[in-house]
Structure 1
Amino acid sequence: MHGYLILVATSFLVIVNTAIISLLICIIALIKVMTPTLVLKRYPTALANQLMWVWATLNAGILRLFNRVEWDISGVDNLSKHGWYLMISNHRSWTDIVVLCCVFKDRIPMPKFFMKQQLLYIPLMGMACWALGMPFMKRYSREYLLRHPEKRGEDLRTTRRSCEQFKHTPTTVVNYVEGTRCTKQKLATSKAGYQHLLQPKSGGIAYTLAAMGEQFDSILDVTLAYPQNVENPFRDMLMGRMNRIVVDVTVRPIDEHVLGDYFNDKPYKRRFQHWLGDVWEEKDRLLEKHYQ
């Protein structure tokens, strides 16, 4: 019963924190809508980023209030709040978003998550994310493009327009390479051959790199693990049962392995997929080490 009381208290505080901050950011969004130029829009976006920092800081406080977490953080030295980063990460739980914001909020620019365009129309959250400058993606399937070839390249142009605002403001763009949360059920049906990861999807990173690859200072390859809360880390965190969180960061250069024309250069595309596969195999071995 004690754990469920903590669950109710934690959920209430997180919901109130999220609702209040989202409402304030939505007010800023209205100001941003009325701001005439892209340069001037930077100011309400910066204010919204500060509110996101407050949200992350309060969530970190709630996490500490109810959990006795042993943090194992490595590889975060020499990062800068004035840099541009592409962050790639494995995706285990909803906890990942809270952890990434808590760990990196004072080390690098506040993370921006690529979001599906449908989420833009969710009340409060959609407008808040727009005010924060998060890029909304409209992706077309292979089947759709076969029926509508005139749409080919439109999703890349949308990505470039979304990333245009990041050229003037230091930014961290986050990409969950697996495309979905890695659960025990999905692992059981996956044919990728990894013990702790799903098959990485190279298209999402390729779109981001094609839009602003040369602007990034480096790639932050983040490995997240919850060694003592493997089954349901999000529920355990809300119930005050989170014991240990591992955040392992490898800083990777922006070089010939990641820069190129992914959509028209087939040799580069194969080289990029091979590079990502090597990164994922290394990450899988690292996760095995943490879980052992």
Structure 2
Amino acid sequence: MSLIKGAVSVLLLTLNTLLWCPPVIVLALFKLLPSVWLRRHLLDALEWLANGWIATNNLWIRYWLKPDIRFTLPNSLSPDQWWLVMANHRSWTDIFILQYALAGRLPTPRFFIKRELLWLPIMGLAWWALEFPFVRRYSREQLERDPGLAQRDQQATRRMCANARQRPMAIYNFLEGTRFTPEKHRRQQSPYQHLLRPRAGGCAQVVDLLGDRLAGIIDITLDYRAGQSGFGAFLCGRTGTISMNVRHLDIPSWMHEGNYSSDAIYRERFQAWVNTVWQEKDQQLSSQEF
């Protein structure tokens, strides 16, 4: 039965994507025209289409998959403000769960996307048109050999934040930079039991570029201990219970008083703050009750 459910889920997801695809492609082509006014209004239309895609996905998730997702949201959430959302990362399931739980409560989401996914059919074009930041992942050794590589990701984030200042936006960042696997956990020698090492650079740049427009940081801990996190299991309705701990963190005043790229002391302080958040997540994921 689960295989049938999975096949129908794939069909519904494909049909929904194809339904919203043609207008996205047309609007994306118009974005190539050199008009700031036109690009701004096209982005409004593209966001409306993206929200339609998410809303339709949520219908088949709610009435076909019927996942057991347990969470409580802070009362402070608003779709009319700017937010930085950070979460741990297990699989593609995370994205659908976050969109399912937060649709209508936060503005249109933007995710940091690996640059390789730009070439994904249909979705890559949609992400480009919606001005998601495409980032590359470099090892510490690569950055030490060529520090200029970090500037490429910063430029992508800067472009997104420049547009974000014109309209409310929720910027999502999986700070681990990749999906959790036991092999990655071992290779990293992660100090956390359930998590990979977080990277603070993306969050720091969003805080710097959006400044006091940010209403706060939404910290989300996804817990699949009672089931499976794989995307295939999700499509087949076999995830079991999924728990989300969602909390609103105020932005400390010192975060607005430094530069992550050029100030080593500020960079260490920001990374230490992120490490503390990750320690709290790990404690939550190690507890008997979530």
Q: Same fold (TM over 0.5)?
A: yes
Q: CA deviation at 1:149?
A: 6.3
Q: How far does residue 138 in structure 1 lie from its aligned partner after superposition?
A: 5.1
Residue of structure 1 aligned with 2:203, choices 171, 193, 205: 205
Counterpart of 2:5 in structure 1 is 6
Q: Which residue of 2 aligns with 1:70?
A: 68
Q: Secondary structure at the match of 1:217?
A: strand
Q: Residue 231 of structure 2 corresponds to which residue in structure 1? A: 234
Counterpart residue number, 1:15 = 14
Task: Please list every run of 5 or more consecutive structure 2 residues that lacks an aligned counterpart in the other structure.
Answer: none
User: Identity rate of aligned residues, in percent?
Assistant: 34
Q: Which amino acid aligns with 1:34?
A: L
What SS does structure 2 have at the residue aligned with 1:85? strand
Give yes or no for the alignment of 1:27 onto 2:26. yes
Q: Decide whether aligned partners of structure 1 residues 24 and 106 sit closer, same or farther in structure 2, where only a CA change above 3 A counts.
A: same
In structure 2, the CA distance between the partners of 1:29 and 1:187, relative to structure 1 (3 Å rule), is: same
Give the equivalent residue in structure 1 for 2:247: 250
TM-score w.r.t. length of structure 1: 0.88
Match of 1:79 in 2: 77
- Number of the residue aligned with 2:179: 181
Structure 1, unpaired ranges of 5+: none
Q: TM-score, normalised by structure 2?
A: 0.89
Tell me by how many angstroms 1:112 deviates: 0.2
Post-superposition shift, 1:89? Answer: 0.4
Question: Pick from 45, 55, 58: which aligns with 1:57?
Answer: 55
Instruction: Report the AA paired with residue 22 of structure 1.
Output: C
CA deviations 1:198-244 (Å, max 9, x no partner) are 111122222323332433111111111223213x4422221122332
Instruction: Check conservation: 2:133, 2:156, Cα contact below 8 A.
Output: no
- SS state of the match for residue 233, structure 2? helix
Matches within 5 A, 1:1-292: 2-34=1-33, 36-37=35-36, 39-137=37-135, 153=151, 155-230=153-228, 232-259=229-256, 260-289=258-287
Residue 283 of structure 1 and its aligned partner are, at CA, apart by 0.8
Which letter maps to 2:226?
Q
Deviations 1:44-90 (CA, angstroms, capped at 9, x unpaired): 21221122112112222222233343331123322111100011000
CA contact (8 A) 2:219 2:248 kept: yes
Task: Give the superposed CA RMSD.
Answer: 2.5
Aligned in 2, Cα 1:215/1:11: closer, same or farther, shift over 3 Å?
same
Distance (whole Å) between structure 1 residues aligned to residue 150 and residue 284 of structure 2: 38
The answer to whether the 8 Å contact 1:145/1:151 transfers is yes
Letter in 2 for 1:120: L
Rate the CA distance shift 1:158–1:190 in 2: closer, same or farther, 3 A: closer
Check 1:204–1:122 CA distance in 2 against 1; reply closer, same or farther (3 A cut).
Answer: same
Distance in 1 of aligned mates of 2:254 and 2:194: 25
